[in-house]
Structures are given as C-alpha cells and as structure tokens.
Structure 1
Amino acid sequence: MSRIEQIDIEILLTQNRIDTASVEKHGAISDFMILTIHKNTMKMHIQKLNKEKVLLNMDVELLLKDIIELQKEAEQFSYILEEEKKEAIKKILLAEEEASSEYIQSKYISNRDKRI
C-alpha cells in the first residue's frame, strides 16, 4: 500500500475519532476542555497529514514528468540508432555495388582484350 493511501486511511480514521469523541452528558467542564483540546490535536494531525500528502503528490508528479522525459529520450535514441543502422546498410550496399561494378568492368575489359 502506498504512503498516500496510508495517509488517506489515517485521515479518515482520525476524522472518525473527531466525529465520535464525546464526554458524559453531565460531565465536568474540564472534560469538555480536554475533549476540545483532543479534537484540536486530531485536527492538527489531519492538517499535517494533508501537507505530507500534498508533498508526496508533488513528488509523484515530478517523477512522472521525469519518466515521460526519459521515455522521450529513449524513443529519440532508438530512432537515431535505427537511422544509423539504415545508413550503415546503405554504405555496405553501395560498397558491394561498386565492387560488383568494378568486377564486371574488369571482366568486360579482359574479355575485350582477349578478342583483340
């Protein structure tokens, strides 16, 4: 489970505790003060968790941007490599064509010299 999901669950649980926390109906005023302090502490905890969640989401966004950028670079390198392979094949074919052309010319010249 990711940290963001853990934070969401913890926020829900804390909010549930805030909503269900109570004191006895005819309790002392100090009970109400303690309950208020407790609820405020839990609210501050929720705010802290929300801040952490925002920071984690920002980190995730930055990582996604980095991943997309790296994928683009990988595609560019792949394209460049493919083009270089095509160029190398063209050079090999041209060299073979020149060699065969020279061979044919030398055969033609040697056959012509034999006739004369």
Structure 2
Amino acid sequence: MIEQLYNLKKTQTDQKLVQKGLLLSKIERLEAEILITKTQIDTTSVQRYGAISDFAILEMHKNTMRLHIQQSESKRNILNEELESLIKDIIQLQKETEQFGYILEEQKQEAIRKMLLAEEEEANEYIQSKYISG
C-alpha cells in the first residue's frame, strides 16, 4: 500500500514538473514577444518628409503595440503566479514522496530484521536439536 502511494506521489510530481516546463516555455515565448514588440516600437518610423497622417498612423500603430505589450505582460504575470503555485505543489508532493519513501525503506528494514531473526531462531533450534539428539 505504501509503495503504491509512493509511486502515485512520484508520478504526480513528475506530471507537475512537466506542467512547470510548459509554463516556463509559455513565459519565455511571451517575454520574447514583448522584446520583439518593444524593438518594433523603437525602430518603426515613417519617411522623413511624409504626410502628417503618416505620423498619426505611426502613433496609432505604436499605441497598438504598447497595448499588446501590456496584454502580454499581464499574461506573463498570470503565468508567473501559476508557476509559483505549481512550484509549491511540487515541493509538497516531493515532501510526501520522501515521507512515503522513508516509510517504505523502514518497512524493508523491518522485513529484513524479521527474516534475520527467523533465520537465527531456526539455527538455534537446529543446534538445540543436534545437541539433544547428540
């Protein structure tokens, strides 16, 4: 029973670690997108002697990109919160896995002690029977 609980907790921990990897990749993707958008804001321009409407369109485009950055940062913050929660879950599962692992090891040690004790009793009985019959 303890071994099944140990394996369950270990499997759950592995699943959470996979989820953590996925969240980290999403966060990295958003950070790259934010960086690219910031670079586009800095490098976007119009012709030097273009129409005034070009400047208005450029400003609208830059505002749209700034809004996109805000939305991406908001998503990234939400993902970071999920990541923190997931890390707490992973730590808890690892603690439980260690506890069950310790109990499992104790049970194995107890089984070995019982087996050695049984062998010792068997050897003593054998010696006594030889002594009595001898």
Q: Count matched residues.
A: 111
Q: Which residue of 38, 42, 47 corresponds with 2:70?
A: 47
Residue 45 of structure 2 aligns to a residue whose secondary structure is coil
Find the aligned partners of 2:131 and 2:32 in 1 and give their Cα distance. Answer: 87
Instruction: State the 1:98 CA deviation.
Output: 1.8
Structure 2 distance, partners of 1:109, 1:80, is 43
Deviations 1:21-76 (A, max 9, x none): 33444544433332222211110000011111112222333333333333322222
Superposition map of 1:29-68 within 5 A: 29-68=52-91
- The corresponding residue for 2:43 is 20
Question: Does residue 131 of structure 2 align to residue 108 of structure 1?
Answer: yes
Partner residue of 1:85 out of 67, 85, 108: 108
After TM superposition, the score normalised by the length of structure 2 is: 0.66
Unaligned 5+ segments in structure 1 are: 112-116
Alpha-carbon distance between aligned partners in 2 of 1:23 and 1:89, rounded to the nearest angstrom = 81
Structure with more relative contact order (C-alpha pairs < 8 Å, separation 6 or more): 2
CA RMSD of aligned residues (A): 2.4
Which structure 2 residue ranges, 5 or more long, are not aligned? 1-23
How far apart, CA to CA, are the structure 2 residues paired with 1:4 and 1:66? Answer: 19
